[in-house]
Amino acid sequence: MNQEQYQPEDEIDLMDYVKVILKRKRLILAIFLGAAIVAGIFSFLMPKVYKIDTALEVGIIEKAMGTAPGQLVESPTQLVGKIDSDVYGIKVREKLNVSQIEYPKIKVENPKDTNLVKMTIESADSEKAKNILEEINTLILIEHQEKIKAEKELLEKNIELFKNNIEVSGKDIERIKIKISSLEIERKTLEDKIDALQKVLLYEQTPGTQFALFDTKEKLEQKIQEIETRYLEINSLEAQINSLKNQIDNLKKQIEDIEPTKIVKSPIISEEPIKPRPLLNIVIAAILGLFIGVFLAFFKEWWEKSKIKLKTLDKGF
């Protein structure tokens, strides 16, 4: 029963709203069209803003070995911080004769799990923005090239050092071989002496001969031991030389694997302006104008009814 009583009132209220909108449709339409026209004019009068972006790939000094991370010329996050803190901007403004006020805001980012550094400028002066990004790229490349050059020079110095060590070890081996040759002659002499003494002992068992034989055998053992020690020294030096050669090969491989920082995307100006967006601005302004027009229509209706009520009250008194 209650629902039946309230339902007609709801319908009357809704119809009242519709009547007000129809009654004030010219006002609503005027504000609606006015907002759209103003937004359109404003959008076309605003300077066109273009997007200029570029991307660098930070170079590698040493490639990853197994699961270990490779060594980069510079950490991308560190490079992003330097650009954000205007380290390069000072030099760029000085070279391009750009004031601090005219210098645009540069958005810098390092995409996750990459060596890339992306820079973006949104500016109405697209050519100036492009020149700024080109100059920053140049400064970064020069800086990184110097670091790579220093790293290569260090690796090449180590290669020369290892080569000198190989040369020294090779000379030591030759010296030891000469010494071994001399020791071999002495050993042969001692062996011949032992043979001679043993033959004498077959006929003459004198203490002197026996002592001489014992002493000669002892000297021969010492000589053989010395020769073996010398050969061990040669083996050690040869192993050292092989190790140095492997290190030289690794250093040469490091030099070959060095990848310089490079521009993967040169500064490019977007074909179409990104701001303003006339159609979007017109649509938003039209919707806002519609809401404002409806609000004003109801406000005007309420105001007029309030005035009528006041007049009626005045006449009653």
β-pairing verdict for 262-269 and 50-57: antiparallel
What is d(CA 232, CA 237) in angstroms, rounded to the nearest whole number? 9
Clarify whether residues 6 and 132 are in a common domain: no
Q: Token pair for residue 28?
A: 């609503």
Clarify whether residues 243 and 102 are in a common domain: yes
Number of domains within the chain: 2
CATH number at residue 237: 1.10.287
**Residue 311 lies inside a defined structural domain of this protein:** no
**Residue 249 lies inside a defined structural domain of this protein:** yes
Clarify whether residues 148 and 280 are in a common domain: no
- Mean predicted lDDT score pLDDT of the chain: 85
**pLDDT of amino acid 274:** 76
Domain end position, chosen among 269, 284, 311? 269
pLDDT digits (tens, 9 = 90+) for 6-58: 444 444 467 777 777 777 778 778 887 877 787 777 777 777 889 999 999 99
**Residue 294 lies inside a defined structural domain of this protein:** yes
**Residue 315 lies inside a defined structural domain of this protein:** no
pTM: 0.69
**Residue 147 lies inside a defined structural domain of this protein:** yes
pLDDT digits (tens, 9 = 90+) for 75-93: 999 999 999 999 999 999 9
> Among 36-40, 184-188, 268-272, which is the least confidently predicted range?
36-40
- Asked if 70 and 64 touch (Cβ cutoff 8 Å), the reply is yes
Clarify whether residues 151 and 292 are in a common domain: no
**Mean pLDDT of all residues in 135-163:** 94
The amino acid sitting at 312 is T
Clarify whether residues 202 and 231 are in a common domain: yes
Q: Which domain holds residue 38?
A: 2-46+276-303
Q: pLDDT band for 260, please (50, 70, 90 cuts).
A: very high
Clarify whether residues 11 and 95 are in a common domain: no
